[in-house]
Structure 1
Amino acid sequence: MSALVKKVIGLIIAAFLLATPLAAQETTNTDPQVDPATMTPEAIDAMVARMSDDEVRAFLLERLDAVAMQSQAPEEVVTLSDKVANLWGAFTTPLLQTLQKLPDTLRFVGVAISNQIDKASNSGGLLLWIGLIALVLAVGFAVEYAVRAFLMRRVRQKANPNGEESLRDAVQFLFRRFVREILGLIVFYVVIRALGRSLLSPEMLLFAAPLVGYLIWMPRLAAAASRFLLAPHRPDLRLVSIDDHWARFLHRNIVGVVFLGGLTIYSVTFLATNGVPPGSTRLGYMLDSALYIYIILIALTARDGLRAMMLGSDPDTTRFDRRVADAYPIFAIVVAASTWALVTTLIGLGTIKPLLQGAHYTTMFLLLAAPVVDTAIRGLVRHLVPPMAGEGPAAEAAYLSTKRSYVRIGRVIAVGIIFSLIARAWDMSVAELLMGGAGIADNLFSFLMTVVVGYVAYEAVSLWINSRLAAEMTALGMSQEDADAEMGGASGSRLSTVLPLMLLTARATIIVVFGLLAIGNLGIDITPLLAGAGVLGLAIGFGAQKLVTDVVSGVFFLIDDAFRVGDYVEIDGTMGAVEKISIRSMQLRHHRGPVHTIPYGEIPKLTNYSRDWVIMKLKFTVPFDTNPNQIKKIFKKIGQEMMEDPLFKDDFLQPFKSQGVFDIDDVGMVIRGKFMAKPGKQFMIRKEIYNKVKAAFAEAGIDFARREVRVAIPGLEHHEDMSEEEKAAITAAAAGAAADAAQQQDQAPSSAPKGPD
């Protein structure tokens, strides 16, 4: 055989090894069609020996073309409707099988019981089994009771059954009782396990262990947890807001739900260990479906109690909290129905391993407990959040915002823990998702984690700034006394002015940064977004130069501490208290009510009347014959009295005192007094000083000077001899002279300053 033929034979054998079975090829000879894939090496050699070189070459090319066409065959496309049809088929299969196998269920249950009785008969008899198991359980209960009684004697409970307990006392009492019950259950388990290994045979243990675990130990554990939360017989210690009737109802039925779930698992185990083939009955599925129906009935019956429990007793509830409370019974029904549908579908798909591990029960329990956890978070925040610092509406708003930030952070953490536990129940590793390699799932998980981290950062910044605001801000609005005055307003601190802007800036920064990171984690290229943002920022910079001027001017005003929220300022003739500041403008509330909005870039000069201290100077006009030293003593006495008055002593920086004779006019002497006070407090002090000076002058016999007009008429030495007509003429002349003097006074230009002296 030539070398060419040997190479061709090698290629044919390689093609046979790579190709799948195809139809036999017809050769130029009269040999019948055969399948080359089923031929032996000797038969292949014989066939090649009978073929010419051209025939071998043609046969090889034909086989290679067939292999290429098979590799290029289009794969079967599964459409969305096909997937839906498959899921529907998987969902309906267990239902149909349950109906088909329902007549045989009781028969197979009887077979399992009969097999169990036969096992008992072969190893000592049924009565011996029952007696030994009952003895082990009795010993376990007795030891548990003794241990719990010993613990109760050692640790005395100090709860007042007739009075309300504090949260700390209630939690301590319930926690000690819960720990005592758990220790009792552990002792019970250890005792029956040790005693069972020594008294019971392996067949007895195989029967008793699931029975005790699912139908005794699990319901008792649920009862202990329910007593800790609901305290059905101790309303004074109850941690949730619910009345006695619904507390006891929920306690009984929570234990019933756990017992029915344990019965479901135990029935499947019992049938499997007693010779019933898997899938022969649907008893476990029927009991599992009854469990979901039971939960739905509980939610419908106790919906009023569940709403009250979810709403809690916190007076600062939001609309979201009330909606969650109203929707919780419906939520419980949806969770139960969805879990049943999921279990049914998984059984139809043949994926029952997670169900045997109880993953569906864990998921349902965690989802049903999620709103309860939310209520617990709000209750803890209510008792653990620091008390409100400061006073007034601003401090109260900051306090409420702080509480809500704590609640939202707690909710995010709780949701993360719940979903991690659900993923673990279904054997889904969070670490694998964090490491990547899951395609769309990996991108989606990274997106959610970025959003969660950004949200926590957002709430943490809000919490910190709001807590500082609660400590810094007091009642910033002008009081009624200040509003009645010409100027006023006690300013807030510098932090209370800057922190709101810091909060706005920090929130915007966090939203932008984490928003871009989250979009990038979805696999979207954010470079065009950054480039577009740069171009947009440049366009805004050129097109909104006035806006940039306002923003930059505002930054420098804040750096210079030129004004604060609450300061009474004057800007180019416009006066008012600083009510609100933003990035580009400020709002001034005039003491008569109008609000002026002034951009920072339009402020040529700013006069602040509320910074550090204020001096108030008061003028009093007294007759010429008044002793100034007497008035000085009166002013000094008034200043000392007001410095000792608890209503005013903290508002003074310097006491009220006399400055002596300030001026002399045609009416009398002008005596001036002054005092130094905190900004915004001077007006109440001024009113009180006026009242005290008036009372003191009246007591000392000092009159305030009044404007008088004196008319000198020669020959009035004998005015007693004047007639009534002469007196009336003189009076009319004096009145006319007084009117002329008053008119001249009104028309004269005033030299008094318009602003504060």
Structure 2
Amino acid sequence: MLPTTANTGADSAESVALPDPLTPEAIHEMVARMSDDQVRGLLLDRLDAVAAAQAAPTASKGMITVLEENWSAFYSPGLGAIEKLPVLFSKQGEALSNFRSSFGDKGLLKLFAFMAIAIGAGLAAEWIVKQISKRWQGAETAAEDATLWSALAFLARRFGRDILGLVAFYFALRLVGLALLSPAQLSFAGPFVTYLIWFPRLGAAISRFVLAPNRSDLRLVNIDDRWASYLHRNLIGLVLLAGFTLFIIGFDIANGIAIRETRIAFWLNTAVHIYVAWIFWTAREGLTQMMLGTDSDRSRFDVWVASAYPYFAISVAAITWTVVQLLSGHGYFKLLLTTPHYTTMFWLLLAPAIDTAIRGLVRHLLPPMIGKGAVAEAAYKATKRSYIKIGRVIAGLFVVLRVAEAWNLDLRNLAAAGVGERFAANSVEFIMTVATGYVIYELVSLYVNRKLAKEQTASGAVEGDLGGGEGGGAGGSRLTTVLPLALISAQSAIVVIFGLLAVGSLGIDITPLLAGAGILGLAIGFGAQKLVTDVVSGVFFLVDDAFRVGEYVEVGGTMGTVEKISIRSMQLRHHRGLVHTIPYGEIPKLTNFSRDWVIMKLMFTVPFDTDPNKVKKIFKRIGAEMISDPLYKDDFLEPFKSQGVFQFDDVGIVMRGKFMAKPGTQFTIRKEIYNRVRKEFEANGIEFARREVRVALPGLENSETLNQADKTAIAAAAGAAVQQQVEAKQAEAAKKSK
């Protein structure tokens, strides 16, 4: 007997002896004999003891102590299971004996007979429902006509029939079972049917939907018949083994055998994890095929993930088993009975199907490619990869939430617990913040890149188009110039904002970071005034729409095509290949040769005896022909036409023509006009005027009788005259240039 002093007030204290053993019956009997003051005093003493224990400082455990405790918790379940091996089978026999004795031989016979009747009723109900819903299935799609949507529709209808049949099986079995079986019998029949019949059949229906082992033409994942059948069989076996594990644990507890007495849960749980690892190891080739998918547009990262996935899954199975051992060693059996480790491995097994589904949906739901060419194709591939990345992040977050729910982890309130839980909560919040920022980053990039590709293909801009090699090529739209800078700015803002939010979610105070950033910005503003000038000037140039990427401009005597723009400078590519980098702050004046339209004037010199009206008609006919030519009509703004006689020179009559065209097309049109004018002149007997030197010598009317010496002297005199004219013109040109 253990004496306990209870304070009964200010007057007296009485000694109350607690019964030994302290059973519920003894406690009730003791309380019945005690007075109200004695009960009140005993309660106050107990509350004071609890308060004192809570107020006492708890000694913090060192790292070595924590590691030792966890190591002991890890190996103790296995060691205990080995120690219990000699009594494992005898205890199972005891559980069976208790089960038999609780019902008796006739009761067992009646139990199994009623279970057989209930299962038969369930199967009959399932067959009837499947027959009624058979017309929903529709005709099977031929292998050569199968598409994704037809295959998905057929498999979804078949899966719906399977699930509907299983639901009918469950309700009919439950209805008949409730009518025939007693509550004690239901405590055995319910888990038996659920874990050993219903769960494996549900797993088979899901596996049949995803893998379609007998219909390769309807299979949703990229895997051959051999591995599809192999995975289908073993997944059903895995669900059956896991169900048997849960059933036998509950069976032992219900029949008076505690988990600690046999440690059978250790052996069965280990068998499940080994089975998972063995499936992934033996089927690694098929699982790699499944992860790769059928899309030929794979990145190097996709190939690496597909090859590493089976080994990652084996590692997760091993880590999950280790976590189960630690929790079991620490006594968290109630948590483990909810099978969070099996839920984790279920989503792990479903990962290839989820990834394949994401890529399949993206491939079939992705908007068509905008335009043609390398720019459009690159934008299309980038869009597809962005959709896949976003889908993977969302699917990953969903899996994390499902796994956290299985382990009873409230990710929102996890930080309210201890230091370890607070660290875990901060880590989860960090991951969620980074994932959210990444999704927004990809969405912004996706929108801007798709808009940019649309603008580039609509404008017909071709990278490296320098206007026929002479400059003056057409530029892109205004959005084509502004969007790359907007994308860089938006991406930088998203990275900075969500980076700070992620750092703050770890419990780090970001106020000093913001203050430091402000001071750094102020220092940059004072120390890099030229940089600020360049940036501000660039902003106003872009606002004024002074130039666009692809346009041919002149800046202070430097000419070239705008090849690239940044926040502080622009790059001009000369048509001979030179690249000039010009800061915006150093641009006093900018001349744009590629905006809206361009007029080109062409000169043709014909002999003095040529009829100008005849030349005008030829020019007009060429202009009419080219404006109706499909190759050139869209490039003209005004057709080629004659401007009449421009001037007379010392060679002949200078005739001029002109046309108006879109920037960048004028050089191609000019070449074609030159070719056509040459052919028309030749067809009409018109020659181009050539520079000639005529020497008139008095008294040489009979030039045919000149000998070779006379001809040589005349040629020398003519050469001297030509040289004098050339020198005179050069001197005149030099004087004008001054």
Place the TM-score, normalised by the shorter chain, in its bin. Answer: 0.7 to 0.9
Determine if contact 1:577/1:591 at 8 Å carries over to the other structure.
yes
CA gap 1:350/1:549 in 2 versus in 1, 3 angstroms:
same
Deviation at 1:397, TM superposition (A): 3.7
CA gap 1:223/1:534 in 2 versus in 1, 3 angstroms:
same
Is 2:569 aligned against 1:588?
Answer: no
CA gap 1:644/1:228 in 2 versus in 1, 3 angstroms:
farther
Is 2:108 aligned against 1:108?
Answer: no
Is 2:473 aligned against 1:492?
Answer: no
Q: Quick one: which of 442, 458, 479 aligns to 1:459?
A: 442
Deviation at 1:77, TM superposition (A): 3.6
Deviates further, 178-187 or 146-155: 146-155
- Partners of 2:392 and 2:713 lie apart in 1 by 93
- Partners of 1:103 and 1:684 lie apart in 2 by 95
Structure 1 counterpart of 2:450, which letter? S
Deviation at 1:529, TM superposition (A): 2.6
CA gap 1:746/1:168 in 2 versus in 1, 3 angstroms:
farther
Q: Quick one: which of 133, 140, 145 aligns to 2:122?
A: 140
- Partners of 2:610 and 2:349 lie apart in 1 by 87
Is 2:65 aligned against 1:88?
Answer: no
Deviation at 1:365, TM superposition (A): 1.9
Deviation at 1:296, TM superposition (A): 1.0
Is 2:523 aligned against 1:539?
Answer: yes
CA gap 1:478/1:293 in 2 versus in 1, 3 angstroms:
closer
- Partners of 2:83 and 2:451 lie apart in 1 by 69
Determine if contact 1:370/1:418 at 8 Å carries over to the other structure.
no
Could you list the per-position Cα deviations for residues 701-743 of structure 1 after superposition, in whole angstroms to 9, with x for gaps in the alignment?
A: 2111111112223344444455565455545544554455455
Could you list the per-position Cα deviations for residues 582-601 of structure 1 after superposition, in whole angstroms to 9, with x for gaps in the alignment?
A: 11001111111121111001
- Partners of 1:520 and 1:334 lie apart in 2 by 32
- Partners of 1:447 and 1:13 lie apart in 2 by 58
Deviation at 1:700, TM superposition (A): 1.6
Q: Quick one: which of 602, 606, 610 aligns to 1:622?
A: 606
- Partners of 2:287 and 2:736 lie apart in 1 by 74
Structure 1 counterpart of 2:487, which letter? L
- Partners of 2:338 and 2:538 lie apart in 1 by 64
Deviates further, 346-355 or 434-443: 434-443
Is 2:176 aligned against 1:192?
Answer: no
- Partners of 2:87 and 2:124 lie apart in 1 by 42
Deviation at 1:505, TM superposition (A): 1.4
Q: How is 1:332-347 mapped onto 2 (pairs within 5 angstroms)?
A: 332-347=313-328
Aligned match of 2:46:
none
Aligned match of 1:472:
455
Deviation at 1:289, TM superposition (A): 0.6
CA gap 1:468/1:433 in 2 versus in 1, 3 angstroms:
farther
- Partners of 1:70 and 1:679 lie apart in 2 by 88
Determine if contact 1:185/1:217 at 8 Å carries over to the other structure.
yes
Is 2:548 aligned against 1:564?
Answer: yes
- Partners of 1:393 and 1:665 lie apart in 2 by 50
CA gap 1:173/1:748 in 2 versus in 1, 3 angstroms:
farther
Deviates further, 107-116 or 654-663: 107-116
Deviation at 1:231, TM superposition (A): 2.0
Is 2:506 aligned against 1:506?
Answer: no
Aligned match of 2:189:
208
Q: Quick one: which of 154, 178, 183 aligns to 1:173?
A: 154
Task: Look up the SS of the partner of 2:143 in the other structure.
Answer: coil
Structure 2 counterpart of 1:507, which letter? Q
- Partners of 1:159 and 1:209 lie apart in 2 by 39
- Partners of 1:236 and 1:645 lie apart in 2 by 51
- Partners of 2:287 and 2:88 lie apart in 1 by 37
Is 2:227 aligned against 1:234?
Answer: no
TM-score by length of 1: 0.84
Deviation at 1:407, TM superposition (A): 2.6
Determine if contact 2:640/2:660 at 8 Å carries over to the other structure.
yes
Is 2:633 aligned against 1:649?
Answer: yes
Gaps of 5+ in 1: 1-9, 18-40, 42-68
Determine if contact 2:91/2:257 at 8 Å carries over to the other structure.
yes
CA gap 1:752/1:186 in 2 versus in 1, 3 angstroms:
farther
Deviation at 1:354, TM superposition (A): 1.7
Determine if contact 2:467/2:667 at 8 Å carries over to the other structure.
no
TM-score by length of 2: 0.86
Is 2:658 aligned against 1:677?
Answer: no
Q: Quick one: which of 532, 551, 567 aligns to 1:548?
A: 532
Is 2:363 aligned against 1:382?
Answer: yes
CA gap 1:168/1:739 in 2 versus in 1, 3 angstroms:
farther
Task: Look up the SS of the partner of 1:712 in the other structure.
Answer: coil
Structure 2 counterpart of 1:604, which letter? P
Aligned match of 1:518:
502
Deviation at 1:424, TM superposition (A): 1.4
Structure 1 counterpart of 2:490, which letter? A
Deviation at 1:398, TM superposition (A): 3.5
Is 2:652 aligned against 1:706?
Answer: no
Aligned match of 1:691:
675
CA gap 1:751/1:191 in 2 versus in 1, 3 angstroms:
farther
Aligned match of 1:160:
142
Aligned match of 2:388:
407
CA gap 1:699/1:279 in 2 versus in 1, 3 angstroms:
same
Is 2:398 aligned against 1:398?
Answer: no
Aligned match of 2:30:
none
Between Structure 1 and Structure 2, how many residues are aligned?
690
Task: Look up the SS of the partner of 1:473 in the other structure.
Answer: helix
Determine if contact 2:291/2:306 at 8 Å carries over to the other structure.
yes
Is 2:266 aligned against 1:285?
Answer: yes
Q: Quick one: which of 304, 319, 335 aligns to 2:300?
A: 319
Q: How is 1:628-667 mapped onto 2 (pairs within 5 angstroms)?
A: 628-667=612-651
Determine if contact 1:554/1:584 at 8 Å carries over to the other structure.
yes
Deviation at 1:73, TM superposition (A): 8.2
Deviation at 1:572, TM superposition (A): 1.0
Aligned match of 1:21:
none
Determine if contact 1:478/1:490 at 8 Å carries over to the other structure.
no
- Partners of 2:347 and 2:10 lie apart in 1 by 61
- Partners of 1:458 and 1:152 lie apart in 2 by 47
- Partners of 1:301 and 1:442 lie apart in 2 by 37
Structure 1 counterpart of 2:86, which letter? P
Determine if contact 2:551/2:594 at 8 Å carries over to the other structure.
yes
CA gap 1:401/1:71 in 2 versus in 1, 3 angstroms:
closer
Determine if contact 1:296/1:336 at 8 Å carries over to the other structure.
yes
CA gap 1:388/1:132 in 2 versus in 1, 3 angstroms:
same
Deviates further, 130-139 or 256-265: 130-139
Determine if contact 1:450/1:517 at 8 Å carries over to the other structure.
yes
Q: Quick one: which of 567, 584, 590 aligns to 1:606?
A: 590
Deviation at 1:235, TM superposition (A): 2.1
Determine if contact 1:632/1:660 at 8 Å carries over to the other structure.
yes
Is 2:58 aligned against 1:79?
Answer: no
Gaps of 5+ in 2: 1-6, 15-36, 38-51
Deviates further, 719-728 or 595-604: 719-728
Structure 2 counterpart of 1:108, which letter? K
CA gap 1:747/1:299 in 2 versus in 1, 3 angstroms:
farther
Deviation at 1:396, TM superposition (A): 3.7
Cα RMSD, aligned residues only: 3.1
Deviates further, 268-277 or 630-639: 268-277
State the percentage of identical aligned residues: 56
Q: Quick one: which of 218, 226, 247 aligns to 1:266?
A: 247
Is 2:132 aligned against 1:150?
Answer: yes
Could you list the per-position Cα deviations for residues 282-319 of structure 1 after superposition, in whole angstroms to 9, with x for gaps in the alignment?
A: 22221111111111111111112211211223333223
Task: Look up the SS of the partner of 2:413 in the other structure.
Answer: helix
CA gap 1:637/1:294 in 2 versus in 1, 3 angstroms:
same
